[in-house]
Amino acid sequence: MDGETHRLTVPDEGGGRIDRFVTEHLELSRTRVQKLLEAGLVAVNGHLAKKSDVVSTGDEVEVVVPPAAPVDILAQALPLDILYEDDALLVVNKAAGMVVHPAPGHRSGTMVNALLHHVRDLSGVGGRLRPGIVHRLDRDTSGLLVVAKTDAAHHALSDALRERKVKRLYRAVSWGHFEQSKFKIDAPIGRDSKDRKRMAVRDDGRPSITHIVVRERWERTDFLDVRLGTGRTHQIRVHLMHAGHPVVGDAVYGVGWERGMGGPQRLWAAELARRVSRHFLHAAELTFVHPSTQLEMTFEAPLPEDLAALALWARGDDD
C-alpha cells in the first residue's frame, strides 16, 4: 500500500499497549492508530498486531500510514498573522479565541480554514481535519505555531517534536507565589477519570515534564517563563494546577481561585480576576531546525495587547 512507513524500536523502558505506543511515538490520534491496526497496517516483529497487544523492550514495530483523504474543509479569508513562510512551512502567531483545526462544534472559523485560503495546499499527514498541523495551542492560548506545507516537512517536524528538539517557551501568570524561582514539574498526565474533557495528573498517565522560571513576582501572582519538556494536552495548565498555582483566568483548571485569598492584597487579586478575559498563557518563543535547510530558526511573539495591558496593570505601570 502507498503511504509512509515508520519503523520503531521499543526503548528500554518498554512500550505498553501497541495503540498507545504508536500514538505517542508518531503523534497520531488514538482513533487513527486503532483504525490502522484494524486495517492490518501495524506489525510487531513481522506479525500483524492487534489493539490489545503489548510491546516490550527491543520489539520492532512497523506502521504504514496511508495518504490522507482529500481535504474538504472550507477555505476562509480570515485574519492570519504569518511571521515567516517558505516552500516548506509557515510560522503563525495565533490569536486567542481561534481554534486551531476543525472539530465538532467548530467546522469553520479555525486557523486551518484560514490557512487553506492562504496556502491552498497543505501537508495531508495530519489527516482530513488537521492538514499541516504539527502541534496545537488551546483556543484561548495565543502565540507561535509552525505549520507544514509539505508531507516531508511535516514528518521531519513531527519527528523533531517527538524527540524534544523543538524548543517552546510560554509566558504565563499563576496564582500565588512559588517558593523556588527555578524548578521542574515532573508528573504524568492522562484523561481525568471523572471528566473526559479535562486532563489530570495520574499515575498511569503519559510522562510529562514542565520547566518553570519565575520572571517577576506581582502582588498575588507570579509571572513565569515556562518551557515544555513534553507536549501533552493542557500540560502547562494541568501542571500548574497540580502544583497549587493555576493559570490566572483559566476557566477549566483555575476558576474562582482568587476567592480563597485573604489578607490586604485580596482586593488586588479580585480586580485582576475581573480584568482577565481568558487564561494568561502565550506561546512566546519557538525554535526548530528547518527540515530543508537544516538551519536553526528562532521566532518570538510579544504578549498580545490584552495580556500586555494586564501585565502593565499588575506592575502598577498603566497610568
* Pairwise CA distance, residues 122 & 157, whole Å: 14
3-state secondary structure of 34: helix
Q: Choose among 30, 44, 97, 131: nearest CA to 304.
A: 97
Q: Choose among 178, 143, 179, 144: nearest CA to 279.
A: 143
Our answer to whether residue 319 is catalytic in this structure is no
Rg of the chain in Å (alpha carbons) = 21
Q: How far is CA 312 from the centre of its chain?
A: 27
Which pLDDT score is estimated for 16?
84
**Grid cell 485573604 — which residue?**
262
3-state secondary structure of 266: helix
Which pLDDT score is estimated for 3?
64
pTM of the full structure: 0.78
Q: For residue 38, what are the CA distances in angstroms to 43, 48, 105, 128, 299?
A: 11, 10, 28, 19, 41
What dihedral do alpha carbons 39, 135, 24, 125 form, nearest 10°?
20
Which pLDDT score is estimated for 52?
84
* Pairwise CA distance, residues 283 & 172, whole Å: 9
Which pLDDT score is estimated for 68?
59
Asked if residue 318 lies in contact with residue 309, where contact means CB atoms within 8 angstroms, the answer is yes
Candidates 59, 138, 140, 250; catalytic one: 138
91 strand-pairing partners: 84, 146
3-state secondary structure of 250: coil
Give the phi and the psi of residue 44 in degrees, each rounded to 5.
Answer: -125, 120
Which pLDDT score is estimated for 69?
56
Q: What is the pLDDT along the chain (319 residues), one digit of tens a residue?
A: 456 788 888 887 777 889 888 888 886 777 788 888 888 889 999 889 888 889 888 889 999 887 655 456 788 889 999 999 999 999 999 999 998 877 766 678 888 888 888 887 676 655 555 677 888 899 999 999 999 988 888 888 988 988 899 999 999 999 999 999 999 999 999 988 888 789 999 998 889 999 999 999 999 999 999 999 998 999 999 999 999 999 999 999 988 887 777 777 888 999 999 999 999 999 999 999 999 999 999 999 999 999 999 999 999 876 5
Q: Environment class of residue 77 by beta-carbon count within 10 Å: exposed (0-12), middle (13-18) or buried (19+)?
A: exposed
